[in-house]
Amino acid sequence: MRKIVLISGCMVSAFCASVAQAEELEWFEGDKLVLTNGASTVEGASGGGIATWATISGLEMDNGVGVSAHITAIDLPDFGFQSHGVSIGIKNRVELSYARQNFDTRDVGEALGLGQGYVFNQDVFGAKVRLFGDMVYGDPLLPQVSVGVQHKRNLDGPVVRAVGAADDEGTDYTISATKLFLRHSILMNATVRYTNANQTGLLGFGSASGKGHTVQFEGSIAYQLSRRAVIGAEVRTKPDNLDLGEDDWIDLFAAYAISDNITVTAAYADLGSIATFEDQRGAFLSAQLAF
C-alpha cells in the first residue's frame, strides 16, 4: 500500500507540474514590438512579401503562443495571384505555417490550351525553428538565425508535368538571418533557399530533363519611418528549370500597422516573365491579423 501511495504521489506531482507549466504559457498575449513579427510571405511563413525572414510568426515572446492569418493578392497584366493561410508561433522559437496559393491564368489559360481562367492551386506546409540570436535584443551585431522547411503540394499534377516538370510535389529548405538595427531604424535580412520549385511550385518541381534543386538567394532591407510604418525592398532569385525564361522577383513595399494586431502591406512587384509572358509587374496587397 505504501508503494502505491508513493507512486500515486509522483503521478500527481508530475501532473501538477505539467499543468503549472501550461498555465505559464501566455496564449495570444503578444509582447513583441510592433511589426517585429514580420508580415506573411506568399508561402505562409513570416517575413516580407516574397522573402522568408528568420522571424517567428505571432506576437508571443519566449513564454507564449501566438497566431497569424493573412490574405495576399497580386494583380499582374496577364495573371492574378492569391494566397491565404495561417501560422502559429510557439515560444518565439518554433513556427508552423500553412498557405493555399491560387494562380489565375485569365485569358492566358485559353492561349495555353488550358481553358479560359484556368487556376493553378498549391498547398504549402511550413516549419521554422529559431536557432540563436534575437532580431531586436541582445548583441547588436548578432542576427536572429532560423532554419526552415516548406513542403509544397501542387494540385495540378497532369498539367505541370505536361509543361515539363518532373514532379507535382517538392520541398524547399531555408536558412535566414535577420536583424533590426534599432539605433538606425534599419532592418536587414538574408535567406538562402535550396529549392527545385518552378514559379514557387505553381508550375511543378524540377524538370523532365533532370534539373533539380539549386541554391537561391532572398534579400530584404527596410527602413522604419515610425513605430508603425516601414518601407523597403526585396529581391528573390529563382531557378529556370523549365527553360521558360523564369525571372527573379523584386518588390518595393510599404507596411503599416493599423493596430498592434492588424498590418497591411502594399507593394510594387516585378515578377518578370511567367510562362513566356513577359513584364509581369503589378500591385501587391496583403493584410495580416496577428495575436
Q: In this predicted model, what pLDDT tens digit does every residue of 118-164 receive, in sequence order? A: 999 999 999 999 999 999 999 999 999 999 999 999 999 999 999 99
Please tell me the distance from the alpha carbon of residue 273 to that of residue 103, in angstroms, as a whole number. Answer: 15
Gyration radius of the chain's alpha carbons: 21
Please tell me the distance from the alpha carbon of residue 87 to that of residue 92, in angstroms, as a whole number. Answer: 12
pLDDT at 239: 97
Residues 6 or more apart whose CB falls under 8 angstroms from that of 75 comprise: 282, 283
pLDDT at 28: 63
Give pLDDT < 50 ranges for the chain. Answer: 1-23
Query: What ranges do the domains of the chain cover?
Result: 2-290
pLDDT at 16: 41
- Residue closest to 200 by CA, chosen among 271, 138, 104: 271
Please tell me the distance from the alpha carbon of residue 240 to that of residue 276, in angstroms, as a whole number. Answer: 11
pLDDT at 111: 87
pLDDT at 11: 35
pLDDT at 166: 97
pLDDT at 125: 98
Q: pTM for this structure?
A: 0.89
pLDDT at 29: 67
Answer whether 247's CB lies under 8 Å from 260's CB: no
- In eight-state DSSP terms, residue 49 is S
Reported CATH class of domain 2-290: mainly beta
Please tell me the distance from the alpha carbon of residue 265 to that of residue 281, in angstroms, as a whole number. Answer: 17
pLDDT at 190: 98
pLDDT at 31: 83
